Structures are given as C-alpha cells and as structure tokens.
Amino acid sequence: MCCSVDQVAHEGLDLERVPAHVACVMDGNGRWAAERGLPRTEGHAAGEEALLDTVNGALEIGIEWLTMFAFSTENWHRPRDEVRYLMGFNESLLVRRRDELHEKGVRIRFAGRRDWRVPRRVIRRMDESAALTAANRRMTLTMAFNYGGRAEIVDAVRALVAAGVPAARVDERALHAHLYFPDMPDPDLVIRTSGEYRISNFLLWQLAYSELVFTDALWPDFRRHHLFEAVCEYQRRERRFGQVRGRADR
C-alpha cells in the first residue's frame, strides 16, 4: 500500500493505531538546569518549548487526549521560591499560549485539587483557559496541576459519601464516576522522562493497564520525535488486560 506524506514523516509509526490517550510525566527540569550551571527555575522555563512541541506533535499524529503532569500535591514541599516560581510560570504560560492552543482546536482542562493551596489568580487563569477552549474537540489537553493520584481517589470517595451512595453500591464504576474527569479514557501510553522509573502519584486509578515507556531525555530536551518514538514502542507492545493472548476463551 502506498504511504501518504504523513506516514513517511512519521517513519515506523502506524497512524491507524495511534493511542487515544497519552499521559506524560514531565521530569528532569532541575537536572537540565544544573547541567548548565543554571538555577532550577531555568529548567522549568525551558520546559515550555518541550510542552508546546509535544502538543503539536500529538496534534500532528491525531492523539485525542493528552495529559501532562505539571505540578504534584507533593511538589508543595519544594523550596518556597521554586513553588512560587512554578505558580507564576504556569499562570503566565496559560496567558501566553491559550489563544494559540484554542486556534488549534485544543480543549484545555485541569485535573487536581483546585481549591487547595493554589493562588486565586492562578485559578482564575485556569478557569479562563478552560472556558475559552471548552467547545474544542480536536484534542483534550489535561494539565494535572496540584494533582495527586491518591488525592483524586480520596476526593472520589468523599464525593461518593457526600452523595449518600450506600456501601453495597460502591463498585469500580461508581468510583470512576466520581473521578475528576469521568469522561476521560484511561491512558493507553504513559511516558516518563529523565530516566526515572516510577509513577510518582500520577493517575493511580487510571494507569491500571497503561503501557509505560521511560526515556532518558530530560524534559526540556523532549521533542515530538521522542513522542513518536514512544508511540512506536507502544505499537510494538501486546496489551493483554489480564487475558490470554488472542481469544480469551482459548
């Protein structure tokens, strides 16, 4: 079969089997800066280019859901100056980039504890960006911000209790319905950068059967070709979901 121009550009990648949902732990900003004798905050700033190139690469190959881990519930324990920088940086990033993302048909959403510790002005920017892009459907970009997988499960349990759901009615479906975004499909592929092999409290419920790809690239060096390589690796995997290869009844 003849290849389209796009297929040649993404050599080795089957555009018919692109994962619907890719989630990414953007890690290694501090080490990237340290390697250059720069303050850690410069590493965070350099991560903006990586984020935008990844989003554009994901749009290019038709990924419909992209979830990026930007700030964890544990990251509050970092030095106060770094936390303050990260709040301001994420706020200004939204102001700088939301129009361009909107024009590209990206819906921006935020997963995390929004009413806990996050400065009000940051919440305002998040709300504005989400409202501006709410009707877009080409891709949903979920920024996991002030996000913890355990906190999300705790919040879901609280919501179940508050809704008066009796214990006998609590099952996986009921809990899932109270996650931050019940309409979000589970990630097919999770990418973690910087050579660390851990989940660090990211999407604990949703990652049950995700394929994990780890890369040594530090986040500020990550570009769309790293994303395409990870998708190629994903396409070489065989997902079994606990069943036997091929027909489950064999």
Which of 53, 56, 75, 136 is labelled catalytic? Answer: 75
Chosen from ligand IPE, Mg ion, none, partner binding at 228 (C-beta under 5 to 8 Å by type): none
CA atoms within 13 A on the CB side of 207: 22
CB nearer to ligand IPE: give 56 or 200: 200
From candidates 27, 42, 91, 152, binder to Mg ion by CB under 5 A: 27
192 touches Mg ion by CB under 5 A: no
72 touches ligand IPE by CB under 6 A: yes
Strands lying side by side in the sheet with 139-147: 106-111, 139-147, 65-72, 21-25, 189-192, 211-214
Chosen from Mg ion, ligand IPE, none, partner binding at 56 (C-beta under 5 to 8 Å by type): none
Q: Is 237 left (phi over 0), alpha (psi -120 to 50) or beta?
A: beta
**CB crowding 126-144: b at 16 or more within 10 Å, else e:** beebbebbeebeebbbbbb
Is 6 among the catalytic positions? no
196 touches ligand IPE by CB under 6 A: yes
CA 62 to chain centre: 16
From candidates 200, 207, 229, 232, binder to ligand IPE by CB under 6 A: 200
Is 75 among the catalytic positions? yes
Active site residues: 27, 75
Name the residues that contact ligand IPE, by CB under 6 A: 25-31, 69-72, 75, 86, 194, 196, 198, 200, 219
